[in-house]
Structures are given as C-alpha cells and as structure tokens.
Structure 1
Amino acid sequence: MKKIYLFILFLIINFGGLALGSYFMGDAITGEWYSNLNKAPWTPPGWVFGATWTLIMICFSAYLSYLFTIRNSKFVISIYTIAVVLNVSWNYLFFNQQLPNLAFINIIVLTLVIIYFFITFGDDRLTRLKYLLLPYIIWLCIATSLNGYVVFNN
C-alpha cells in the first residue's frame, strides 16, 4: 500500500515539475527566437515530446516508489530533488532565457544524475526495476543531442 501512495506522490511531483517547466517555457516554442534557430534534422514533431515525457514520468514515478520504499534517506531525497530542479530549470534556461549553452550544461548534468540513479540504486531488489529509467536516459541523450546541435550550429 505504501508503494501506491508513493507512486501517486511521485506522479504529482513529477507531472507538477513538467507543468512548471511548461510554464517557464511560456510561448517560446512558437516565438521568433526558437523559430529562427537552426535545429537538428532529427528534431521530432512537437507531439512526441508530450507523449515521451508522459511515459518517462510514469516509469520514473514507479521506479521512485520502489526506491523510496527500500532506501528512503536524506541522500536519496537530495539526489531526486536535484533531478527535479535540473529538469524544470532546463526549460527556463533554454526557452525563457534563451541560453542554450547553459541549458546544455544543465541537461548534461541531469543526464548524469539519472544515470547515477540507474547505476547506484539499481542493485539488490531494484535490479530489474532500474530498467524503468531507460526511457528517461534514452530521451535525455536525444534531448542533449538536440540542445548540443543548437549550441554548435547557431
């Protein structure tokens, strides 16, 4: 029963983070700055982002509900908080402030934090559950490449 409550809690926090990130993004995606960027040829259509983030946050919330049942510590909470802050702040840096270089550093650090979750907290009872992080890691690699393309080609 505790896992269900944690799952719901993490869904609320994670989707709340996505909503906050969208708020910080504002209408920048339809704005002049973003429209005029030289974007990567492999940039997916807009709807893919929403669908992907929905899947990622469901998987991440499921993983976290098990992790926090097994290893609920200040350290784990701190690492999770860093991940949420990095995820939300990327939208602010890239879209709102139009700082793709800082956003690039931000997303690299976020990717490393999620990989840290995969490696460090993927043992014992989380051996199979750590694979719920793969969609997040794969998407962050794609997003990092998109951000990097903007940095190096604009």
Structure 2
Amino acid sequence: MKFIPLLILFLIINFGSLAIGNWFMGDGATSNWYTNLNKAPWTPPGWVFGAAWTLIMICFSIYLSYLFKDYQSPIIIGVFILQVILNVSWNYLFFNQHLVLPALIVITLLTLVIFYFFFTFRMDAINSWRYLLLPYMIWLCIATSLNLYVLLKN
C-alpha cells in the first residue's frame, strides 16, 4: 500500500480512537472527582493535553504509515490493535470509573507497547522514522507518573 492512503487511514484510526476515548471519559477533566484530586505538582494545564495528543497522533500516524508501507505482519497489526485498545480503555478506567490502579496498569502496558514499537521495529527502511515515537514515549512517561501520583496521594 502507498504512504498517503496509509497516512489517511492511520490519522482516521488514531484521532477516532482519541474521540472514542474522550467520549468514554464522560465529564473527565471537568468532573468533581478529577478537579478535587490531589494532583501532581507537575500536572500540566488542561490545554496541554489536547496539544500533546494532537502532536502525538500526527507523529504516530506518520510512523505507522512508513512501518505498514514496508512491513505488514500479524504481529505488527496485533501490537497496533493492542495500543488502540489500551489507549481508549485508560480514559474509561481513570476518568469514568475512577479505577486508578487498573488505569495505572493499563497506561503502564500502553507505555511498554510504544517502547516495544520503538525498540523492535528498527529495520533499515523505518529506523529513522521511529524517532517520531519520542513524543508519545515522553508523554506516556509523564502521564504514567501523574496516574501513579494520584494513586499514592489520594
């Protein structure tokens, strides 16, 4: 498959996943539960989350387009599907159900999946494109620390 159709496909899937995750959040970041949490001092302002996820999903979609253009395997497809499921389910567990420990487990697994993409799929044709995963990796480390802080301090 060619790059542009793949890019469009992954942009739709990734931003669609964000939309579904946002829908599963319910009141999310504006809920009484969340606003009254003892949050980490390094919690960014609300607008940063939208900006970060927009950048992350654009970079991730470009990376996936290059990966899938040259390499299609059941493993790569399965890891991608797992990433989508984990990404969407974290919102539901944390914001909607207030299940902080299961959410921490999910976001930790999601972090491991993205690191798996970075360290496993380093073929010559994709090697330099894997650095597009860095914003996702950094953000997940921050988000995991925020989730852990909420678990320990509330």
What's the TM-score once normalised by structure 2's chain length?
0.98
In the other structure, the counterpart of 2:150 is 150
In the other structure, the counterpart of 2:69 is 69
Deviation at 1:37, TM superposition (A): 0.8
Match of 1:7, SS? Answer: helix
Match of 1:72, SS? Answer: coil
Match of 2:113, SS? Answer: helix
**Matched ranges for 1:1-154 at <5 A:** 2-154=2-154
Deviation at 1:36, TM superposition (A): 1.3
Deviation at 1:107, TM superposition (A): 0.3
Match of 1:98, SS? Answer: coil
After the TM superposition, which segments of 4 or more aligned residues of structure 1 sit over 2 Å from their partners? none
For 2:12, the aligned partner's letter is I
Render the CA deviation track for 1:54-74: whole Å, top value 9, x for unaligned: 000000000000100111111
Deviation at 1:28, TM superposition (A): 2.8
Mapped to 2, the partners of 1:2 and 1:44 lie a distance apart of 38
Identical amino acids, percent of aligned pairs: 67
Deviation at 1:104, TM superposition (A): 0.3
Match of 2:125, SS? Answer: helix
Can you give the 5+ residue segments of structure 1 that lack an aligned partner in the other structure? Answer: none
Can you give the 5+ residue segments of structure 2 that lack an aligned partner in the other structure? Answer: none
Deviation at 1:123, TM superposition (A): 2.6
Render the CA deviation track for 1:87-112: whole Å, top value 9, x for unaligned: 00000000011001100000000000
Mapped to 1, the partners of 2:133 and 2:4 lie a distance apart of 18
Render the CA deviation track for 1:9-50: whole Å, top value 9, x for unaligned: 000000000000000011132111111110000000000000
Mapped to 2, the partners of 1:121 and 1:138 lie a distance apart of 18
Render the CA deviation track for 1:94-142: whole Å, top value 9, x for unaligned: 0011001100000000000000000000231111100000000000000
What's the TM-score once normalised by structure 1's chain length?
0.98
